[in-house]
Amino acid sequence: MKIDAIILAAGKGKRMQSASPKVLQQVAGKSLLQHVLDTSLELKSCQPHIVVGDQASLVKASVSAPKNSKWSKQAKQLGTGHAAKQSLKGLRAGSIALILYGDVPLVKSSTMNNLVKAAGKSSLALLSFEQQTPKGYGRIIRSPGGKVLGIVEEKDATTEQKKITEVNSGIMAVASNKLEELLNGLKNKNTAKEYYLTDIVSLANENKIPVKAVKLDSKEEVLGANNREELNQLERNYQLLKAKEFLKKGVIISDPARVDFRGEVKIQKGSSIDINCVFEGKVEIGKNVIIGPGAIIRNSKIGDGSRIEPYTLIENAILEKNVSAGPYAHIGPDAHLEENSEIGNFVEVKRSKIGKGTKAKHLAYIGDGQVSEKVNVGAGTIFVNYDGKNKNKTKVAKGAFIGSNSSLIAPIKIGQNSMIGAGSVVTSDVPAERLALGRSRQRNIKKK
């Protein structure tokens, strides 16, 4: 079944108090519109049709959309029905039109799919939900037998109609050819003088098109944002929904209200997340990983059984199985920590590979390093990788011991099982099995 997803994204969003259009405001590090677009693309044979208006060029440039996406512009703000009409020319024959909103980012692909199935080739299907304080929402009008007769907007509702708690989400699905017929029949005889998309429900009844309401259990899925307060609530709703998904999969989360997921995050069963952790970009966490409070993990992979101590930053890095990092460590960018390696407190690792069982436990900087297995990097060690123009490599062979407070001036090679005496400044290669001392001789001078 072909699906044409019409995403209405033409509104200005004045109440958001922002120079950017409402649909470009962010939830979980991604624009509202991008959320909707990405979710719609999870549907099979889906082609997006994005209707823009305010700052159309900026919206188009700010969104990552597939090449087959269709763009249309609503030059004048004449209502949601008028906006949807702008996309009609690009709809495919025989498709189901799924109407979505660029400022309603949390709708699940499964919900979209259920709505499309409910519509089929012959019906109009809409998403509704219960709202105990329904002010501002269009009310679902039903017959005594439960048949959906239409939707009345808040501005046009009678006192009795305003008491109805089943409200319209605005999200609908209908065969594309029927949508064109219904949109062409819209009138703007209402208080706002706009062409309401919701009016196609009563038009469908008039044209003997069955109308089905698919009621959601969780209204959080279809909430939008018109101002900063509502945008903040969307953020919390998103984070809570993501946390619940992980909890169902066997992930341990200390407090679902104090963790943020801002990207494509995968966490396997048995792993635990303490409070105030942030996951950004593409993140993969293996099984039985322990992540302490305040950790930030960005575009990285962490292997099974690893332990991330509190307040550690990991970015663009790979940590293999049973790695220990932190507390207060900075791993990455482009760091690769092999199995059973240990990076301790206030250690920074960048553009470096750390071998199996290697330890750098305290206060060290490892930049542009290639460190083999079972190396000990003492406290205060510096890989001096920058000569003012270029980044240079430090290579440390298996079993080497780097004494505390040493500086290794790259480019340099430290041989297998060699030892660097504490406090040394090493400027040339050290052969295997040698002790290197690069410090001035101590003198004890009598005080005057």
Helices (H), 249-326: none
Query: What SS3 string covers 96-115?
Result: EEEEEECCCCCCCHHHHHHH
Alpha-carbon distances of 245 from 193, 265, 267, 295, rounded to whole Å? 43, 11, 10, 20
Alpha-carbon distances of 299 from 210, 241, 251, 265, 302, rounded to whole Å? 47, 21, 19, 9, 10
Helix (H, G, I), strand (E, B) or coil at 80: helix
Question: CA 66 to CA 78: how far, in whole Å?
Answer: 28
Task: Give 233-258 as a DSSP string.
Answer: HHHHHHHHHHHHHHHHTT-EES-GGG
Give the end-to-end CA distance of the chain in Å, rounded to a whole number: 95
> What is the residue type of 410?
A
> What is the residue type of 49?
H
CB within 8 Å of 66: residues ≥ 6 apart: 41, 48
> What is the residue type of 144?
P
CB within 8 Å of 148: residues ≥ 6 apart: 126, 140, 141, 142, 201, 205, 211, 212, 213
According to DSSP, the residues that pair with 340 across neighbouring strands are none
Instruction: Output b/e per residue, 68-84; b: 16+ Cβ within 10 A.
Output: ebbbbebeeeebbbbbb
Number of CB atoms found within 10 A of residue 279's CB: 27
- Degrees (nearest 5) of the Cα angle 393, 431, 439? 80
Helix (H, G, I), strand (E, B) or coil at 62: helix
- Degrees (nearest 5) of the Cα angle 327, 323, 290? 65
Residues composing the chain: 448
Annotated active-site residue 362? The verdict is: yes
Which one-letter DSSP state was computed for residue 133?
S
Active-site residue identified among 49, 82, 336, 362:
362
Question: CA 375 to CA 386: how far, in whole Å?
Answer: 22
Question: CA 118 to CA 112: how far, in whole Å?
Answer: 10
Question: CA 273 to CA 292: how far, in whole Å?
Answer: 6
The catalytic residue positions are 362
